[in-house]
Amino acid sequence: MEKRDLLYEGKGKRLYKTDDENLLISVFKDDLTAFNAQKTGSEEGKGALNCKISTQLFHLLEENGIKTHLVKTLDDSSQLVRRVDIIPLEVVVRNIATGSLTKRLGIEDGKKLPFSLVEFYYKDDSLNDPLVNDEHCLMMDLVKSESDLEELKRLGREINFILKSFFEKRGLNLVDFKVEFGTDKDNNILLSDEISPDSCRFWDIKTNKKLDKDRFRQGLGDVKVAYEEVLKRILEK
């Protein structure tokens, strides 16, 4: 597969065209950003760790019936993926209150939620990715139909169900996470982007130690050590 022009560069990845118009190469970067890129940094090897973690989790989800854009890994930090039109929504699923949820609603940090909460955020950096409801999504044509919105919620909950129990068995609480979806040329909704400690919160069940991007955001240090720990737990049989 030949890597051609850069198509898009995001905070965590670069997407390249290939000699097949339906396939792209996604290269995971070492860069870290927080608070809408007000805080930036880099951690050597983080891209490769996220690529490995995300690949493992996408395989797990595929095995459990979730369709994804992943075709195969190409090297330590790149994947071959199906080309999709990204739905401009961040689908966030939460099991425990923290982050923006506690700030917005005053819910106690660390409180277990009575059910898994699914939220939509409009992907627009210039607006700081605002929280939107179903009617905003329909009014702004962010999705094609109400049934696509229901499908995104169902997929978010299903992914949460699969990942939450997978991580519980490995001593980690999946506190919350963000996923993105895209549509392929046949209008299938595919899980896209990545699932990694950049986009999920993992707290150790015994110690409550944070093993995710909050170590960078909150200046706790040992970012790479934490990501390595997450990969180690994922690879445990």
Footprint of ligand UDP on this chain (CB under 6 A)?
90, 92, 99-101, 129, 176-178, 199-201, 213
Please report the sign of the dihedral spanned by the C-alpha atoms of residue 185, residue 190, residue 193, residue 194.
negative
Rounded to a whole number of angstroms, the minimum distance from the CB of residue 237 to ligand UDP is 26
Closest CB 104 distance from ligand UDP, rounded Å: 8
Nearer to ligand UDP, 146 or 168 (CB): 168
User: Least distance (Å) from ligand UDP to the CB of residue 15?
Assistant: 17
Q: Which is nearer to ligand UDP, 82 or 178 (CB)?
A: 178
Strands (E), 87-154: 89-96, 112-122, 131-132
Q: Tell me the closest approach of the beta carbon of residue 132 to ligand UDP, in angstroms.
A: 13
- State in angstroms the smallest separation of the CB of 176 from ligand UDP: 4
Residue 76 or 109: the one with the smaller Cβ distance to ligand UDP is 109
Rounded Cα–Cα distance for residues 115 and 72 (Å): 34
Percent helix, strand and coil across the chain, each to the nearest 5: 30, 35, 35
Question: Closest-CB residue for ligand UDP?
Answer: 99
CA–CA gap between residue 198 and residue 28 (Å, rounded): 11
Supply 232's token pair.
């180690």
Q: How far is the CB of 203 from ligand UDP (least distance, A)?
A: 11
C-alpha span between 43 and 163 (Å, rounded): 26
Please work out, in degrees rounded to the nearest 5, the angle formed at the alpha carbon of residue 17 by the alpha carbons of 5 and 4: 40
Rg (CA), the chain: 17
Which C-beta is closer to ligand UDP: that of 24 or that of 203?
203
Nearer CB in complex with ligand UDP: 24/101: 101
Query: The tokens of 100 are what?
Result: 């923006």
